[in-house]
Structure 1
């Protein structure tokens, strides 16, 4: 199923279909340089990734909520398993892919990402609103959560020896290579042994995804071709989803997230946990 939709597609279909539009902007990352504040796509519901939809009991940032609670959390913002959902963020493409992935994990089939986000919507000349919409809570439906799409540290550790999957790190090259300090205090520098670096900025041009052909070529340059099983990581599991969605757009199908990402691995003191300045 195609994952990306254009502003024109959303405008045309919003008038004839019951579409839930989610603003997935990660609020704490917002700044006046690259985020439009106070403007949203009309009819948008706010998806609070920073608070409501991150596990409050986890010491790690942006951890996927407990699956048993996700049905009621999604229902609280008006979603059902049958919902048709379009996700966007105010930066273009940043946190929205994380929410796209989360909804896919929960078994929502008809979920799309607005390529280019709010900037693309405005550039296309469509109107904006100053307020979010509240749809009202739904009765929690039977969401078919798929926990196998969430990979833990034990599986990543075992993969160093088994190479059962390709681990793709979406952080900038300088951080991956241990040449730049991590933005979160207390984390070591470097990368997980055996991982491949595809910075999330390399899959985008002008705040939108590159074509499937260019993305397939990018992955091939890194030695990754179908039908390899791919697991993605980053700093906290957000930008990893940008590259995961790029892989989906390029035709890869077996895609998962190491949810602890570097926030977990970089804090670990196990021997051979990190390669630095390679």
Structure 2
């Protein structure tokens, strides 16, 4: 009798398996939701996800899903770069941060124009247009009043854990947003290490729902910016270059940008660097990534600085063209407990607007480096 019953069960299971599609949609609950109204998660939780693999997602554009209650070790509040497993564990409610969090997909452009968001994103994530944190004049971070309004629009307070990500590890849009949030006063800011590529490789769920953030029902909680000391103005940089021997202005740009062969930007006609700058390597070429695509550690930055006669003991101010790439070494220093670093937000873009400012063209360690002023530079160095 037991054998007969077992046979019936096995036959029934086989029939059910044959009749089921491997792509059956599984209606999702709001995996990214949390109990805090200030986080305002997942305005529309009705979207279905599929159980395709990450590889299939990349090939077909379909949504993925390997839902499970993921547990991961907790991380320190100052830890910025976090794994897909940790992020999923937050979504699953298994971290202290699960009580009040938000996930931001960071890219240039409105949500209507953001293909990276509409093609698929982490469940419950909102799109953050980088134009909303930067002003067009110098592409510097917007005024405190504008950032305060943006935080209210997204329902972010100083106590919200904000998890930022972009499409891949070399894209610094999420780092730029993360830096802005820290400057404003958000106390727990993370970046998904390796970006959305790492998320897909981990097989975690995605969706195509366009989520709309809910406005905050309470104050941000601290005056913005809570950390004005994180940014140096162009006048502060000029003063420190002239008077502070311990100060190092570190260029996070390509070698050709540093040598003055190209500006690196289609809208910047002049190429060179502020006189006195040292090279800290670029982030766009993967110089700040490990072989597995995760963000490099402090030892890598230490090596780059030593190549240029600088060290982690110097007062460091990182810059690039308009302030994106330079946020990566800043965040590496930040999560390692350093406090002797800043961002020169204006970068080369603002520096080259003043004809009187001193510049170097070439490597200052070599005899053929030319020292001149912005006004003497040629205007044919825009990126082609």
**TM-score normalised by length of structure 2:** 0.65
Distance 1:211 1:148 in 2: 23
**Mean Cα deviation higher: 199-208 or 16-25:** 199-208
SS at match of 2:155: coil
Q: 1:36 to 1:120 in 2, by over 3 A?
A: farther
1:103-114 equivalences in 2 (<5 Å)? 103-114=181-192
Contact 1:169 1:233 in 2 (8 A): yes
Cα RMSD between the aligned structures? 2.4
5+ unaligned residues in a row in structure 2: which ranges? 1-77, 363-368, 370-384
Structure ID, larger Rg: 2
SS at match of 1:205: coil
Q: 1:123 to 1:240 in 2, by over 3 A?
A: same
Distance 2:118 2:138 in 1: 27
1:115-126 equivalences in 2 (<5 Å)? 115-126=193-204
Query: Residue deviations 1:37-85, cap 9 Å, x none?
Result: 61111111111112x2223xx5222x21111332221110120111011
Contact 1:40 1:132 in 2 (8 A): no
Could you tell me which residue of structure 1 aligns to residue 163 of structure 2? 86
1:10-159 equivalences in 2 (<5 Å)? 10-16=87-93, 17=98, 18-27=100-109, 38-50=119-131, 52-55=132-135, 58-61=136-139, 63-93=140-170, 94-138=172-216, 139-144=218-223, 145=225, 146-159=227-240
Instruction: Please state how far the C-alpha of 1:250 moved relative to its aligned partner.
Output: 5.0
Q: 1:24 to 1:114 in 2, by over 3 A?
A: same
5+ unaligned residues in a row in structure 1: which ranges? none
Could you tell me which residue of structure 2 aligns to residue 217 of structure 1? 303
Q: Is 2:287 the partner of 1:202?
A: yes
**Count of matched residue positions in the alignment of Structure 1 and Structure 2:** 270
Q: Is 2:346 the partner of 1:260?
A: yes
SS at match of 1:98: helix
Q: 1:187 to 1:143 in 2, by over 3 A?
A: farther
Contact 2:260 2:272 in 1 (8 A): yes
Instruction: Please state how far the C-alpha of 1:36 moved relative to its aligned partner.
Output: 8.0
SS at match of 1:148: helix
Q: 1:82 to 1:156 in 2, by over 3 A?
A: same
Could you tell me which residue of structure 1 aligns to residue 274 of structure 2? 192
Contact 1:169 1:195 in 2 (8 A): yes
**TM-score normalised by length of structure 1:** 0.88
Could you tell me which residue of structure 1 aligns to residue 82 of structure 2? 5
Q: 1:84 to 1:250 in 2, by over 3 A?
A: closer
Distance 1:36 1:68 in 2: 27
